[in-house]
Structures are given as C-alpha cells and as structure tokens.
Chains A and B, each alone.
Chain A
Amino acid sequence: MAQVEKFHYDNAIVRNFAYATMIWGLVGMLVGLIIALQLIFPQLNLGIAEVSYGRLRPLHTNAVIFAFVGNGIFTGVYYSLQRLLKARMFSKVLSNFHFWGWQAIIVSAAVTLPLGLTSSHEYAELEWPIDIAIALVWIAFGINMFGTLIKRRENHLYVAIWFYIATWVTVTVLHVGNNLELPVSAFKSYPVFAGVQDALIQWWYGHNAVAFFLTTPYLGLMYYFLPKAANRPVYSYKLSIIHFWALIFIYIWAGPHHLLYTSLPDWAQSLGTVFSVMLIAPSWGGMLNGLLTLRGAWDRVRQDPVLKFMVVAVTAYGMSTFEGPMLSVKSVNAISHFTDWTIGHVHIGALGWNGFLTFGMLYWLIPRLFNTKLHSEKLANTHFWIGTMGILFYAIPLYWAGWTQSLMWKEFTPDGFLKYGNFLETVTQILPMYAMRVVGGTLYLVGNIIMVYNLVKTVRSGSFISDEAAEAPALVSTHGVHKGEYWHRWVERRPVQMLLLATIAILIGGIIEIFPMVMIESNVPRIESVKPYTPLELAGRDMYIREGCLGCHSQMVRPFRSETERYGEYSKSGEYIYDRPFLWGSKRTGPDLQRVGGKYPDSWHFNHMLEPQSISPGSIMPPYPWMIRDELSLDILPKKIKALRTLGTPYPEGYEQIAIADAQKQAEQIAARLKKDGIELEGLEKKEIVAMIAYLQRLGTDIKPKAQATN
C-alpha cells in the first residue's frame, strides 16, 4: 500500500466560476427577455443600433451558451475533476488565467456584438481576435486539466472525466474548423470557405456546439453531481461505456440536419438525418443512467430541491434528445424549420437541461464550499416551481406558434394561391404566443433571481474553505496485467490514449462529410450567370451581417411549392459560391430574402428601413434610421476585394484600385433613382442605406430575369 499523501483542493477557482455562472446567467436571461419583448413591441429597439434586435440576439445566445453554461461547466469541472482524481488542480496560474481570460472574452463579446462586429456564424459570431483569445484560454484549460490528470492519485478515470476529455478535444477542433478566416481589419474577416461549404462547416460546428458544449460536459457534471446528491451508485457502468463512445462518435455527423431541403447535396442531408435518428439511443443512455441511478432515492426527490432540479433536467434532456431526431426527419423538418418550433425545442434543452442542472449543482455546491447549510429550502423549492412553470410557459406557446405559422405558410386556396400571401399575416397571428413566451421567460428569470438571493444569503452565513484538506494514497503503477477486469478499464488508466481515441471518434464523421464537399466540385454545380458582388453590394452585404439581419431573414428558398410561389425559384448551391460567409439564416421571423432583388423599387427599401411600419403596418421589424443618417465608409473596400480574391473570388487583378470609384458610381445611380421617387436628402449617395439597397436589389437576381421595373 502506497503512502497516504495530504493535499488541498482548490475551492477558490470553483467559487469564482460559480459566481460568474450566477451573474452571467442573470445577464444572458435578461437580454433574452429584452429581445423577446422587442419581438412584440418593436418600439423597444429605440432606433438605436447597439440595442436593436439583430445585434442583441447573438448577445443573448452567446451569453447563455458561453457565459452562463460555460462558467457552469468550469464550476463543475474544477470541483469534480480534483475530487475524482484526488489531486489539486495542476496550476493555480493556469486556473486564474482560464477564469479571467474567459470573463474577459465574455466582456469583449458583450461589447463587440452590440457594435455589430460579428462573423455571422451562429454561436461563433465573435471576430477573429477574440477567436484567438478563446483558443488560448481553451488550451490553457486543456493543459491545466491534463496536468491534473497526470499527477492524479486515482488509477482509473471516472466516466465524467471521459466526457470532459471528449468535450475539450472536440471544442478545440470545432472552434478552429469553423473560424478559419482571413482577417481584413482588426474586427473584420472573411471565412475561407464560401456558400454551401461554409454552411456545412458552420452547422457541423453549430450542431456540435450543442453536442459538445451544452451536452457532453453537462453529462459529465450529471455523472458526478447526481450520484453525489442522491448518494446512490451509478446504475450501469456498461451503459456509461457504450453510450459515451456511441454518443461522441455519432453526434459529430448530425450537423447537416440543420440544412435539410436546402441546396446542400442530398447525400449530406441524408447522413444528417440518419445519424440524428441513431442518436436517440446513445442520448437516452445518459438519461437512463441518470434517472435509474435515483432508484431507491425517489422518496428523497420529493423533498430535496437539488434532486428535483436534477430530475427535471435529465427528463428535459431525454425529451429534447428524442425531439431532436424527430425534427431531423425531413418531412417533419419541412414543417419545423425556420419556425419557432426550433426555438421552443432548444429552450427545452437550455432552460430545462442546462439551466436546471446548473441550478441543482449550485444549490448542492455553494453550501459545501462555504461549510454551511442552504439559506432556505423553501425558496429553493419556490425557484423550482417557478422555473418549471417558466419552461412550460415558454415552450408550449412557441410550439404552438411554430405549428400555426408553418401551416399558414403552406396553405393554398383551391385556386392555387397562397392563402396567406402576405407574410406579415402569419406573423401577427402568432404575436399572442410571443407575448405568452415573455411571461414564461419572466417567470424563469424571477426564479433565477430568487436563487441568486438564496445563494448570496447562504454565502453570507458560512465561511469559505479556500483550500479543502484531503488525503489519498499516492498512485501506484497504473500499468501491468490486470486479470479478469473489464476491457474498458485499460483505457481508463490512460488519459492520453483516451484523448487519442476520442479524437479519432469525433474526427471521422466530420471528415467524411466535409472533405467531399470542399474537394469534389460536382457537389456545388457552377452556374454561368452567377457573378461576384460589386464593391457597393459587398459593402451592403457586410452591413447586412453587421445588423444581424439573418437572425430573422433566411436566404434559402426550399424546393416546396409553398416557397417557390411565395418567393420565387428555389435556391441552387451554385448561387452562393461568392457568399463569404453564407447567410442562409435559420429562422424566418420575416420573409426569406433570397429573391428580394428587383421585387420592390429602391424607394420602397429606403422607406421600409427608415420606418418599416409605414410600409407594412403591424410589422415587427426594427427601424434602421442610422443607415440613413450615417455616412458609408468605403475606405476598407480595396482590402476586402484583395482578401476575397486571395480566397478565390475572381475579381480581376488590380480591381481594388477602382473599387471605390465603382462603388461611388453605383451609389450615385441608386441615389438618383431614389431622388426621382421623391426622396430628398443631402448627400444621399454617401449614406449607408445606398449600399444596403444595392445589396438587397442584387439578391437572387443572378438566375432570374429582372422582374419588376426599378422605377
């Protein structure tokens, strides 16, 4: 028997992350509430660029995913990792670097996103300097984790740690893969891949952000905190093994289910569908192991708020991992995609699974860190019920809204016309559901505030144990023959091999899907008439990105009669080859814009941007007065043209020198047309709006004849 060693767990880092989780949770949910209100009362956009919906939406998603859940992950990992390995964290410096670095990244996100500095890739909006910072901090976290793994005093790695390792390596790969971009300026870059390829890579990332940031680390946390809180053995070790490997291997393939019926080739769509369906069992393996671990402890679930939160969390996980595969079946997706059904679905996951597991963990953890009892069980129970009501009031109206709107989009009269030819009708119809959702969100936030109050009181009543004493025998040789043991024990003694195997498992799917898309030309058939954007259109396009237009408008007409009737010819992959980044969008709060070019006169767009409700009474689109007020900056155009040529857009050599003149010429033409329609404004041709109009009028016109006079 090895000598017993004495050491201390670092609780300070855990406490810091726990505080950050609480604070950013409030912030993220508050921003969510604001944008939910903006959808019912567009006046709340205030006509101010920095607080308009399109810019705040990514702030909400980033704050909730990376700030709230992210800090939640680190809280749980730093606490459980030390105890599962019987070792103090490898480096205090790295821990602190990780903590402060992560908070700095969040703050920089909170500053840059409202400023409109965004790459527009959903959940990867942050621009390249912040991407680099994320990579550095993430690597520091990895070194810290593996350093601790190496100096561990426990022979075998527990299942929670397998999930942490898989999380770490996959997030690294995803983050790098989806942020391959060429910088143009300090806060502007263009992605290496364009159009349909960019779309595939983004959703390979986007889906696996859900998988490896919102799911696998939280499964790890569940595997630690749930048996601890319930004081029960984990139901099945074998199930842990099978569902872990199956989950990480299969998850990575499922990304294309975000692109069903788009111009992504059918073979890739089918892979997305079938791997999503195959995900049900591996996901449910986690749910089963969680719920069945509670066998024999169900009597305590009725009393203990920690267990209550965890049970709802695991159940929500089970529900959304069943719903997800169903939504990946093409005929269901035809209904759900672009609607609020998806929003409802993700919030079951976010509010139920991530939120409630975090709350359960904090209620369990904080009293232990401060060597005290929870201030009030009653308040925790109140939080539980308000939160549960909040989830229901949030999700059910959105499901309803999604179904209603989708059916309205698709309904025809027997004469063959769309029954609701005006998109706006389908929006005003669901506004009451949007209002209900605000009620749900408010309830959830109120519950969260109660928790923070409760935990602050708890902290005040206790005394913090910064360094918790522990002891364990030193690690004896981990290798050698172990007769009669379960085969998987071998890799559980070898963190590096575990890392390698996990890396292989998560690389296969991505490689098989992405390589053919970027290597084989026939996957993106060329269309002769598709030409690069003019400099002014490019400026307008980057403005479209800046304002987050894709938060509400898709640019992807799916091959359904209901869409071709409403919008025009369905989209072809060849149309997007110069789209860096792709802007297909994932939600239609407003109509699709892929074929909006030439549909309305320039003056229509001008007035619509200035005051949408003057053109479409009842519209919930925010106004964009600053586009009409602010001068367009063209100075960066030559750099943009050069960067895009480097990436493969066929601008002729030396074009950057005449790009500005070209843009000015086009701007003058548009300004002249606006003037003809009675829009009098000093220096109109120098305003941002002109570029935006140029871009919108170009959209989708490459493959259709100019349909309407531009007046």
Chain B
Amino acid sequence: MKLNYKTYLLPFALLAASGIQALAQDAAATTAAAPAAESNFYNTFLSNGILLFTAFVIVGAFIVMFRLLNVLIKMQQIQIYKEQGFEAFQEAQARPMENFWNNMYKRWTKVVPVEKEEDILFDHNYDGIKELDNSLPPWWVAMFYITIAFAGIYLFYFHVSGLGKSSKEQYEVEVKKAEVAIASFQAKQADKVDEENLVPLEKETDIAAGKTLFTTNCVACHGALGEGGVGPNMTDKFWIHGGEIKNIYQTIKNGVPEKGMIAWSNQLRPADMHRLASYILTLQGTNPPNGKAAEGTEYVPEAAAPPQDTTATPVEPTNSTGSGQ
C-alpha cells in the first residue's frame, strides 16, 4: 500500500501550527515580550513564523522517523519472506500497520461499531428516540481535563504566584520598550536632531517642508501667514516662550497645555519639528495683514538674523552643504 503522506501531513501541520501559535500568543501575553508584540505586529508574526517553521521541522522529523520505521518493518518482512515463504510474508505484511491505527482509533474513541449497537442500546424510548451507551470519547475527556488544568495553571500563574503581569504592568513594560526602541532608531537616523545645539535649517526643501507642516497643523490657531489668532503672532519679534530656534522647538515639542497648545512630539518627528521651527523663523518681520498684537518679550538674536525682510515665502536657496538630510 502506498501512503500519500501529503494528505495526512496537512491536518498535522495545521494542528501543530495552531497549537504553537496559541502557545506563542499566550507566552507573549504572559511574559515581558508581550509589549514588543504590541509595538510591532510584524515582529510577532516573524517570531511566530519561526515557531511555525520549527513545528514543521519537528513534524517533518517525525515523518522521517515513521518512514524509517516502515522501512525497517519492510526489511523484516523481506527477511520473513526469505526464511518462511510467501504466505507468512503476506500475513506479516497485513498485520502491523492496521493494528497500529486501529488500536489508536479504538483507544481514543472507544466507539462501539454500528453493527454491535444492539448490545449497548438502552431501553429508553422517547417518542421513538433511543439512546446508546457509548462511553465518553477518551480524547474528549482528555481535552476536558487539559482545559481544566490550563485554568488552574492560568489562575495560579497570574493571581497566586505573582509571576504573571497584570494588564497595567504589561502596558508599562510595553511603553518602556517602545521608548527604548524609538530612541535607538532615531539615534541612527541621518536627520536626527540634536536638541542642545539646534541651528535653523536653511535648505529650501526643509523650509518648504516646514511650511507644509505649518499649513497642516498650525494655521488653525496661528493664522495662515503666522499673523496669530487664538495663538500668538509668529511674525513679530516678541515671544512668550523665547524666540531662539531652541526655544521654538521646545515649545512645539512640549506644547503649552494650559493655554490649549498640545505637545506635538506625539504627532511630529523630531526632524519635522526642527523644520517647522526653522520655517517659523523665516516668518520674522513679514508683517502680514491683521497681525495680532505683540505678546511676550522682545527677542534680540545674538548673531545676525537671517536676512528676510521682504516676503512671507522663503527664497534665497543658500545651498549650504552641511544642513539637514
């Protein structure tokens, strides 16, 4: 008999895969790894992928061993053929496989064949419905016990042993991990921002990007030309929180929650906040119509201010090679 193992490999693989996956997810939930799973889902899928692959390898190994065993049995049978003749060989060939699967099936289902049903028929009769006295399927009973054991272990792990993390603790770990990952990512970026030694960007592309960011995020409160509205005027020399690039960057980054300005660090990359702050500085002295009255204190730059007196839109691409990007 030729066994086509693709057919019986499939359910095995699926079973193994789902089992491993569930385990992996559970493990993820219970260990510190969980937050990582949250922070980047594809990571989880990758690690699950590795687990899956491992499962395939294990299943594959089992199949190879099973195959080897078959070969050994075949060799044994050939031996029998050689020594005891054809009839003994036939008998031996029919025996081992069938017995193995049959026994397995019988042991895990304990089912009474349809033909022998009469023996286990109760005398119950409900409107013609009869009942059989089949045993509880052992595989079903085993499954029930396993889930009960799972329940006990789960409750012990999370609520008695002190090992399992609560939802809140999981969250804290997740946030910490993400902070570390983000910091290390940003440190490797070409346009990373050195908050201590900020200088205004001058490249045309940076200023244009800054303008786009301003239009998207800031005009609602500061006016289309930076003339001010709910928020202060950006075009005069007066600043409430400081007029140096460093100050403006910090104001954008942390916001002024008590006055209604949100902390933009939650929505803008550091490099973008840098571009935005640089753009805002180009608005100095543009003197748009309907400018809001000055607020804060006058800021006098230490070095010479960039020469921008004429228009609101930045011109003069000064192709400096050192800046940004």
**Bound pair (A, B):** yes
Any chain B CB within 8 A of the CB of A547? no
> Do residues A234 and B130 form an inter-chain contact, with CB atoms below 8 A?
yes
> Do residues A412 and B178 form an inter-chain contact, with CB atoms below 8 A?
yes
> Do residues A411 and B41 form an inter-chain contact, with CB atoms below 8 A?
yes
Question: Which of A270-320 touch B at CB < 8 Å?
Answer: 270-271, 273-275, 277-278, 280-282, 284-285, 288, 292, 295-296
Any chain A CB within 8 A of the CB of B287? no
Q: How many interface residues does chain B have, given as a range?
A: 35 or more
Any chain A CB within 8 A of the CB of B86? no
Any chain B CB within 8 A of the CB of A457? no
Q: How far is the CA of A565 from the CA of B159 in the complex (A)?
A: 29
The verdict on A277 contacting B150 (CB below 8 Å), with A295-B114, A410-B41, A562-B38 known, is yes
Which one of B25, B135, B150, B166 lies within 8 Å of A238 (CB-CB)? B135
Any chain B CB within 8 A of the CB of A239? yes
Question: Which of B220-276 touch A at CB < 8 Å?
Answer: 221, 230, 257-262, 266-267, 269
The verdict on A278 contacting B148 (CB below 8 Å), with A266-B166, A331-B25 known, is yes
> Do residues B143 and A707 form an inter-chain contact, with CB atoms below 8 A?
no
> Chain A residues near B134 (CB, 8 Å)?
235-236, 238-239, 292
What are the interface flags for A158-172 relative to B under an 8 Å C-beta threshold, 1 for contact and 0 otherwise?
Answer: 100000000000000
Any chain A CB within 8 A of the CB of B126? yes
Any chain A CB within 8 A of the CB of B80? no
Q: How far is the CA of A38 from the CA of B108 in the complex (A)?
A: 50
Q: Nearest chain B CB to A598's CB is how many angstroms away?
A: 9
> Do residues B267 and A421 form an inter-chain contact, with CB atoms below 8 A?
yes
Q: Interface segment, B60-68, B168-176, B299-307?
A: B168-176
Question: Which of A217-243 touch B at CB < 8 Å?
Answer: 224, 227-228, 233-240, 242
What are the interface flags for B125-142 relative to A under an 8 Å C-beta threshold, 1 for contact and 0 otherwise?
Answer: 011111111111100110
Q: How far is the CA of A267 from the CA of B94 in the complex (A)?
A: 56
Question: Which of B151-188 touch A at CB < 8 Å?
Answer: 151, 154-155, 158-159, 166-168, 170-171, 174-175, 178-179, 181-182, 185-186
> Do residues A237 and B132 form an inter-chain contact, with CB atoms below 8 A?
yes
> Do residues A233 and B262 form an inter-chain contact, with CB atoms below 8 A?
no
Any chain B CB within 8 A of the CB of A201? no
Q: Interface segment, B1-9, B27-35, B289-297?
A: B27-35
Which one of A414, A559, A562 lies within 8 Å of B185 (CB-CB)? A414
Q: How many interface residues does chain A have, given as a range?
A: 35 or more
> Chain A residues near B144 (CB, 8 Å)?
246, 278, 281-282
Q: How far is the CA of A414 from the CA of B129 in the complex (A)?
A: 64
The verdict on A267 contacting B159 (CB below 8 Å), with A228-B128, A410-B41 known, is yes
> Do residues B131 and A240 form an inter-chain contact, with CB atoms below 8 A?
yes
> Do residues A331 and B137 form an inter-chain contact, with CB atoms below 8 A?
no
> Do residues A84 and B25 form an inter-chain contact, with CB atoms below 8 A?
no
> Chain B residues near A233 (CB, 8 Å)?
117, 121, 129-132
Q: How far is the CA of A562 from the CA of B144 in the complex (A)?
A: 36
Q: Which one of B22, B143, B144, B167 has the greatest number of beta carbons of chain A within 10 Å?
A: B167
Q: List 11 interface pairs A-B (beta carbons < 8 Å), by A numbering.
A: A224-B127, A274-B155, A280-B143, A288-B140, A325-B147, A326-B22, A329-B29, A559-B168, A560-B171, A570-B171, A711-B230
User: Which residues of A approach B to under 8 Å, CB–CB?
Assistant: 80, 83-84, 86, 154, 156, 158, 224, 227-228, 233-240, 242, 246, 261, 266-267, 269-271, 273-275, 277-278, 280-282, 284-285, 288, 292, 295-296, 325-326, 329-332, 334, 407, 410-412, 414-417, 421, 558-562, 564-565, 570, 705-711
